[in-house]
Amino acid sequence: MKRSKQRKRHVQVLMILCICLLFSALGCRPGNPDDDKTTITRLLMDTRVDLTLYGIDKKTSERIAGEVFAEMERLESILSRTVAASDLDRVNRAAGEEWVDVSPELFFVLSKALEFAELSGGAFDPTVAPLLELWGFGTAHPRVPSGEELQKVLPLIDYRLVELDEDRSAVFLPLKGMKLDLGGIAKGFIIDRGIEVVRKFDVQASFLNAGGDIRIYGEKPSGERWTVGIQDPNVNGKGSDRTYIAALRLEGEGSVVTSGDYQRFFEENGKKYHHILNPADGKPARQLTSVTIVAGDALTADALSTAVFVLGREKGLSLLKHFPGVDGVIVDQEGKVHYSPGLEDKIQLNAQQTGR
C-alpha cells in the first residue's frame, strides 16, 4: 500500500510538472507582433476603404478610424465631380460664365493637377470630364461615341485653358461645356490626408487601402517589409480569386497606386473599352494594360499612374525620371512586365516574360 501511494504521488507530480512545462512553453512562445492590429472598413469614393492600425487597442482604433473617414468624406464632398454642390461641381456649372471661389483643398489639388498635366505634355488632363460623360463612364449605360461626337467635344479638353487666381483662391473655365474631373488625383490626395489624421495619434503603423490605392505609414511591428501585390490585368477575379503578376516588398512609408484597363470598362461587339482616356483623341489608351507607381505620397502616385498609362512604356518610364524616388511597374499589351531600376531589390515577378 505504501509503495502504491508513493507511486501514485510520483505520477501526480510528473503530471503537474508536465502541465507547468506546457503552460511555460505556451507563455514563452513568440507571438506575431502583427496580430496586434485592427482593420476598419468604410465605403467612400465609390470604393471599399480599409484602414488597418497597428499597436493600438480596438476601441481607440475605431475612434481614430472615425476621424480618418470623416476627413476623407469631407474632402470627397469638395473634390468630387458627381457630388451635387461640391466645389468642383460649382466650378463646372459656371464654365464660360464666371469665376468661382473655392476651398483651399480644391485650389491645391487643381494646381497640382495642372502641374502634372504640363509635365506629362497633356497625357494627364483634368479637363477630361466631357469625354468621360460622352462615353458614359460612371453611368448604367456606357457606350462608344461616334467620331463626330468626339470631334465636337475634343476642343473642350485642354488643361492650358484653365485659369487660376491664387489671391482669391478662385477658378475659371473659359468655355461653355468645359468640365473638370479630378478622379485621377483627388483620391490620392484624400488618402494622404487620411494618413495625416493618423499621424496625430500614437499609432505604430497603418495601412490605408482605398480600392487598391495604398498609403503606408510607419513600420510593421514584426519588422517585416510591407507586401503589396500587383494584380494580373488579364485576370478579372476579385478577392481570393485574383492572380498577382508581381509583388512589391517595401519598407517604411510610401504609396502604391495602380491604374489598369480592368478596373472600369465595358464591352461592345466583343471589344473592351476602359475609362483611361487619351486626351489627344478621346479614346481609351491602348499601349498598356496596367501601371503601378511607387511614390512617397499617394497624390503623386495617383496622377503619374494615369499619365504613364496614357504615354506608354518608353515615354512613361522617361517621365518618371523627372521624379526622384518615384518608381513604376508597367504591364504591356503582351503581358510583359517592365519596371524602373529603383525597384530592382523590391519586386518579385510571377510573370513568365519580363523586361526592364
Question: Can you give the CATH number for the domain in which 46 is found?
Answer: 3.10.520.10
Picking from 23-27, 140-144, 305-309, which range would have the lowest pLDDT averaged per residue?
Answer: 23-27
Which tens digit of pLDDT belongs to each residue from 238-258?
544 468 899 999 988 999 999
Give the pLDDT score at 10: 46
**In this structure, are 196 and 150 located in the same domain?**
no
**In this structure, are 126 and 167 located in the same domain?**
yes
Give the pLDDT score at 3: 43
Question: What is the helix (H) or strand (E) element at residue 171, kind and residue range?
Answer: strand 170-172
Which tens digit of pLDDT belongs to each residue from 292-350?
999 999 999 999 999 999 999 999 999 999 999 999 999 999 999 999 999 999 999 98
Cell triple for residue 173? 473655365
Cell triple for residue 133? 460623360
**In this structure, are 111 and 155 located in the same domain?**
yes
Q: What's the mean per-residue pLDDT of the chain?
A: 89
**In this structure, are 134 and 198 located in the same domain?**
no
Give the pLDDT score at 2: 41
CA distance 139 to 40: 29
Give the pLDDT score at 33: 57
Give the pLDDT score at 35: 62
Which tens digit of pLDDT belongs to each residue from 87-100?
999 999 999 999 99
pLDDT over 90, % of the chain: 81
Domain boundary among 163, 193, 215: 215
CA 239 centroid distance within chain: 16
Give the pLDDT score at 263: 85
What domain range includes position 86?
Answer: 82-172
**In this structure, are 290 and 335 located in the same domain?**
yes
Q: Cell 457606350: give the residue.
A: 143
Give the pLDDT score at 80: 97
Confidence of residue 37 (pLDDT cuts 50, 70, 90): very high
Domain-located, residue 310: yes
Model pTM score? 0.87
Query: Does residue 18 carry a pLDDT above 60?
Result: no
Please name the residues in contact with 123: beta carbons below 8 A apart, sequence gap of 6 or more: 278, 279, 306, 307, 308, 310, 311, 315
**In this structure, are 66 and 124 located in the same domain?**
no
Which tens digit of pLDDT belongs to each residue from 52-86?
999 999 999 999 999 999 999 999 999 999 999 99
**In this structure, are 142 and 52 located in the same domain?**
no
Give the pLDDT score at 236: 59
**In this structure, are 156 and 278 located in the same domain?**
no
Picking from 20-24, 96-100, 224-228, 293-297, which range would have the lowest pLDDT averaged per residue?
Answer: 20-24
For the chain, give the longest Cα–Cα distance.
Answer: 108
- Average pLDDT of span 191-198: 98
- Average pLDDT of span 11-26: 37
Cell triple for residue 74? 469631407
Query: Does residue 216 carry a pLDDT above 70?
Result: yes
CA distance 157 to 10: 89
Give the pLDDT score at 349: 92
94 near 223, Cβ under 8 Å? Answer: no
SS3 164: strand
189 near 67, Cβ under 8 Å? Answer: no
Give the pLDDT score at 116: 98
156 near 178, Cβ under 8 Å? Answer: yes
Query: Does residue 22 carry a pLDDT above 90?
Result: no
Give the pLDDT score at 235: 73
Query: Helix 186-199 crosses helix 104-119 at what angle (to 10 degrees)?
Result: 130
Query: Does residue 19 carry a pLDDT above 70?
Result: no
Which tens digit of pLDDT belongs to each residue from 168-189?
999 999 999 999 999 999 999 9
pLDDT over 70, % of the chain: 87
305: alpha, beta or left? (left if phi > 0; alpha if psi -120 to 50): alpha
Give the pLDDT score at 118: 98
Query: Does residue 8 carry a pLDDT above 90?
Result: no
**In this structure, are 94 and 206 located in the same domain?**
no
Give the pLDDT score at 351: 47
CA-nearest of 257, 319, 268 to 293 is 257
**In this structure, are 257 and 347 located in the same domain?**
yes
- Average pLDDT of span 111-124: 98
Give the pLDDT score at 307: 98
Phi, psi of 145 (to 5 degrees): -75, 160
Give the pLDDT score at 262: 87
**In this structure, are 209 and 259 located in the same domain?**
no
CA distance 277 to 83: 22
The domain total for the chain is: 3
CA distance 127 to 129: 6
Residue 128 CB coordination number (10 Å): 27
Give, in order, the Cα–Cα distances in Å from 236 to each of 47, 233, 263, 285.
16, 7, 9, 19
Query: Does residue 26 carry a pLDDT above 90?
Result: no
Please name the residues in contact with 148: beta carbons below 8 A apart, sequence gap of 6 or more: none
